[in-house]
């Protein structure tokens, strides 16, 4: 039987080292023993952007980027999107198994009964300028929640963690809706205990008058599925931020604020917003070839295309494309969909995109649906964050419960000046 190890020969010294291979990886610390002499610090690996570094063992989400596979706890994303609710999926992600009927009812009850936020959170949100970006308000308000729950600092107490997890999943929709209404100059609508998660959220967002009808069930279901599709995505930029901040034993509110900050960037969760701006800028099908030319010259990126992990069609984008049609039947077709479909067709036939394995990602179509539902472009990343909250929390919990984990603290390759002597300012010339 093959030996599960690798042998490295250090050509600097002629020495060989046998390093065990476990789960398809070597332990980076094993490299440290490879030294030129006793004074040498030992070998490190250099990996900007962590392209080939596993920072953790995890049992939550599996992705095969080459094959376009995404599974939460072993269940394929298309099955969950089709048959499970977002809260059912959140339970699965957090606890490892799908809930039975009783567990699900209790979970839904618990999430529903933590949606109220302290009155001061209303004041806090009201303090932002009318044109503040929703994601800036969202990041800050998540951080502010930390001050209301000082006991959340007990991150090694499982019961306490469970309570904060419920609070964060519940209050996220209330905070997001308050932010939206503040930016529109509308009064806040309080959560209702008789509504499901997505319906409660849409009601808090859009209700104008007491007698207004409930949100359309098709839109509620679409919102719920969109949350499910975003619920986790293993060690992406924001999840890594969550784990890194959590590794210092900071409470989950500030860790989630940090994760949301990472999500805000246009290369991550901010991409859905950028896709819409891009489609508007292109404006019509006939302007696409010229735009693609600019992308190929390196002047701009095609937003909503490409992914660090998926080198095949993003399975989430496929599902989103399907729900777009259902939403359009209720609210009317978003004219930008024609531009998006043609842009995708052209890109998928073009050697520039084919050779780089650039396919539409989750953000390519999600913004078109959000916009058709009447949501303003700059709130899109907040919607991504609502969906991702169970994933962040599950990954955070896995990290703080993992005995192999330590405070995150990467190494660097120092290439700066060697020691030099201080020169007073008058003598610096």
Query: For tokens 């394929």, what's the residue?
Result: 76
Radius of gyration of the chain (CA): 24
Q: Which of 268, 338, 402, 418 is catalytic?
A: 268
Query: For tokens 């997505």, what's the residue?
Result: 198
Q: Please identify, using beta-carbon distances, which residue of 152 and 317 lies nearer to ligand CMC.
A: 317
Q: Which of 51, 207, 197 is nearest to 111 (CA)?
A: 197
Residue 394 is encoded by which pair of tokens? Answer: 């599950």
156 is catalytic: no
Residue 200 is encoded by which pair of tokens? Answer: 């409660």
Q: Please identify, using beta-carbon distances, which residue of 153 and 296 lies nearer to ligand CMC.
A: 296
Q: Please identify, using beta-carbon distances, which residue of 150 and 298 lies nearer to ligand CMC.
A: 298
**From the centroid of its chain, how far is CA 96?**
19
Q: Please identify, using beta-carbon distances, which residue of 252 and 306 lies nearer to ligand CMC.
A: 306
In the complex, minimum distance from the CB of residue 149 to ligand CMC, in angstroms, rounded to a whole number: 28
In the complex, minimum distance from the CB of residue 180 to ligand CMC, in angstroms, rounded to a whole number: 21
Q: Which of 133, 182, 233, 307 is catalytic?
A: 307
In the complex, minimum distance from the CB of residue 239 to ligand CMC, in angstroms, rounded to a whole number: 10
Q: Under the rule (CB under 6 A), what is the footprint of ligand CMC?
A: 233, 236, 267-269, 271, 295, 301-308, 356, 358, 361-363
User: Are residues 223 and 198 in contact, defined by beta-carbon separation less than 8 angstroms?
Assistant: yes
Q: Please identify, using beta-carbon distances, which residue of 80 and 347 lies nearer to ligand CMC.
A: 347
Q: If you count DSSP H runs as helices and E runs as strands, how many of each does the chain have, helices first? A: 17, 5
Q: Which residue is nearest to ligand CMC (CB)?
A: 306
In the complex, minimum distance from the CB of residue 381 to ligand CMC, in angstroms, rounded to a whole number: 9
In the complex, minimum distance from the CB of residue 392 to ligand CMC, in angstroms, rounded to a whole number: 13
Nearest-angstrom CA–CA distance, 313 and 354 = 11
Q: Enter the DSSP assignment of 60.
A: S
Q: Which of 232, 251, 363, 378 is catalytic?
A: 363
232 is catalytic: no
Q: Please identify, using beta-carbon distances, which residue of 4 and 355 lies nearer to ligand CMC.
A: 355
**Residue burial 280-315, b: 16+ Cβ < 10 Å; e: rest:** eebeeeeebeebbeebeeeeebbbbbbbebbbeebb
307 is catalytic: yes
In the complex, minimum distance from the CB of residue 394 to ligand CMC, in angstroms, rounded to a whole number: 17
Q: Residue 62: exposed, middle, or buried by beta-carbon count in 10 A (0-12, 13-18, 19+)? A: middle
Neighbours of 247 (CB within 10 A): 19
The catalytic residues are 268, 307, 363
């Amino acid at each position: 039987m093959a030996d599960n190890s690798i042998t490295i020969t250090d050509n600097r010294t002629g020495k060989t080292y046998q390093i065990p291979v476990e789960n398809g990886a070597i332990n980076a610390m094993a490299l440290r023993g490879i030294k030129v002499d006793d004074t040498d610090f030992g070998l490190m690996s250099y990996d900007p952007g962590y392209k080939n570094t596993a920072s953790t063992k995890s049992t939550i989400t599996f992705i095969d980027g080459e094959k376009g596979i995404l599974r939460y706890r072993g269940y394929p994303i298309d099955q969950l999107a089709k048959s499970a609710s977002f809260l059912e999926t959140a339970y699965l992600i957090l606890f490892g198994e799908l809930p039975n009927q009783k567990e699900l009812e209790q979970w839904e009850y618990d999430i529903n009964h933590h949606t109220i936020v302290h009155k001061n959170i209303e004041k806090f949100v009201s303090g932002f300028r009318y044109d503040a970006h929703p994601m800036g308000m969202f990041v800050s308000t998540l951080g502010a929640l930390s001050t209301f729950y000082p006991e959340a600092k007990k991150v090694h107490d499982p019961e306490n963690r469970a309570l904060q997890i419920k609070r964060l999943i519940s209050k996220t929709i209330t905070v997001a809706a308050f932010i939206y209404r503040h930016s529109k100059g509308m009064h806040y609508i309080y959560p209702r205990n008789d509504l499901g998660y997505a319906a409660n959220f849409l009601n808090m967002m859009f209700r104008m008058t007491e007698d207004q009808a409930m949100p359309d069930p098709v839109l509620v279901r679409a919102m719920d599925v969109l949350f499910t599709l975003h619920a986790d995505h293993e060690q992406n930029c924001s999840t890594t931020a969550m784990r890194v901040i959590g590794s210092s034993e900071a409470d989950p509110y500030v860790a989630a604020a940090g994760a949301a900050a990472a999500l805000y960037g246009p290369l991550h969760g901010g991409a859905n917003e950028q896709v819409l701006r891009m489609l508007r800028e292109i404006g019509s099908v006939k302007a696409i070839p010229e735009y693609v030319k600019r992308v190929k010259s390196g002047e701009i990126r095609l937003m909503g295309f490409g992914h660090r992990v998926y080198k095949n069609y993003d399975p989430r984008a496929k599902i989103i494309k399907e729900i777009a049609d259902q939403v359009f039947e209720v609210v009317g077709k978003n004219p930008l969909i024609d531009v998006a479909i043609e842009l995708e067709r052209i890109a998928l036939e073009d050697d520039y995109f084919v050779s780089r394995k650039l396919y539409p990602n989750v953000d390519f179509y999600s913004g078109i649906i959000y916009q058709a539902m009447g949501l303003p472009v700059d709130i899109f990343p907040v919607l991504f964050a609502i969906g991702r909250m169970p994933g962040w929390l599950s990954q955070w919990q896995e990290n703080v419960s993992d005995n192999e984990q330590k405070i995150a603290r990467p190494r660097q390759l120092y290439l700066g000046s060697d020691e030099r002597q201080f020169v007073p300012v008058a003598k610096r010339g």
